Amino acid sequence: MSTTPIVYKAPDLDKVRILVVGDVMLDRYWFGDVSRISPEAPVPVVRIEKREARLGGAANVARNAAALGAHAGLLGIVGADEAGTQVEQLLEGGGIHSYLKRDEAISTIIKLRVIGRQQQMLRIDFEEPPSDTVLRNKLMQFKTLLPDYNVIILSDYAKGSLVNVADMIASARAEGKVVMVDPKGDDFTRYAGATVLTPNKGELKRIVGSWSSEEQLTTKAQNLRAELKLDALLLTRSEEGMTLFTADDKFHIPADAREVFDVSGAGDTVIATMAAMLGAGASWNEAVQTANRAGGIVVGKLGTATVTREELFNT
């Protein structure tokens, strides 16, 4: 098992073209002051003083890729509503090429977080699955976009936008693309044939069961990787770091020791960074080490955040 550290250097990321496909969300944050308990129920009263909106879900993956200097495109579905328009505006402001589909039958997915005293007090989710017609159109456009991109990220949040994920993987791999998948759910067979899957511990346990030793984990992870015909399986392990399983090696890197402020969106940063590095020609080990470093930086920020190229390679 290899653990040799690498020297961080900035690769030529501006030539990498990453297409992100998946569940697009709008993350809204309401910040306020908490000074009393409600007389109506034993809950804090948050007096809202500031509001922010950020790209979430697959859109946050694209935002992270663009922040590193890669050319990022986003294919997803939003509602024909004010929130969908705001997503489009945020994409434009972040330099992300939008291929968003507007679905008249649904509302844009929104995650509203109420923050008081720098702590998340409450999260409210608004979501509906997209309609079949829009999903079919999305699959057709995906296939037309493939020649323009060299790395594909399929960001699955189990909100209904990736029901055609098996077709997408097959089409992209047939054209020689690197296909990275952030998986969800109890059935990983639909991701078969991808280049790499990036589950966290909880997601992997739902598929292969628990493990009691590193040896048992390695056996289960390698069996799953072989069964799904993956080039690699990257297990993100929170405070335990990350472990990459390939046919030739097992590569583990401990977590980058930093103060953890907020883990939301950290997985988006990891997969976007790894995609950018692989697209630039980095080895598996170098891509994982750089992604781990990016994840360590982003958890020190509030909410869905990004890591810049300068932060990643000059600190």
pLDDT, position 6: 47
Supply the pTM of this predicted model. 0.90
Question: Per-residue confidence at 294, pLDDT binned at 50, 70, 90?
Answer: confident
304 pLDDT higher than 70: no
DSSP 161-211: TTTTHHHHHHHHHHTT-EEEEE--SS--GGGTT-SEE--BHHHHHHHH---
Are 21 and 154 in contact by the 8 Å Cβ rule? The answer is: yes
Q: How many CA atoms lie within 13 A of 51 on its CB side?
A: 5
pLDDT at residue 293, as a whole number: 86
Q: Which is higher by pLDDT, 130 or 1?
A: 130
Burial 121-152 (b: 16+ CB within 10 A, else e): beeeeeeebbbeebbeebbeebeebbeebbbb
Task: Give the pLDDT confidence of 215-238 residue by residue, as tens digits.
Answer: 999 999 999 999 999 999 999 988
Q: How many CA atoms does the CB half-sphere of 141 hold within 13 Å?
A: 18
3-state secondary structure of 225: helix
Q: How far is the C-alpha of 262 from the C-alpha of 269, rounded, in Å?
A: 13
pLDDT in tens, 68-116: 999 999 999 999 999 999 999 999 999 999 999 999 999 999 999 999 9
Predicted pLDDT of residue 198? 96
Is the per-residue pLDDT at 3 higher than 70? no
Whether pLDDT at 8 is above 70:
no
Residues acting as catalytic residues: 268
For residues 25 and 264, the model is more confident at: 25
Report pLDDT for 5: 47
pLDDT in tens, 139-152: 999 999 999 999 99
* Domains assigned to the chain: 13-25+55-108+128-313 (3.40.1190.20)
The pLDDT of residue 37 is 95
> Is the predicted pLDDT of residue 40 greater than 80, yes or no?
yes
| Structure confidence at residue 123 (pLDDT) | 95
**Which has the closest alpha carbon to 75: 15, 4, 135, 157?**
135
| The predicted structure's pLDDT at residue 264 | 59
**What is the spatial distance between Cα 159 and Cα 176, in angstroms, rounded to a whole number?**
28
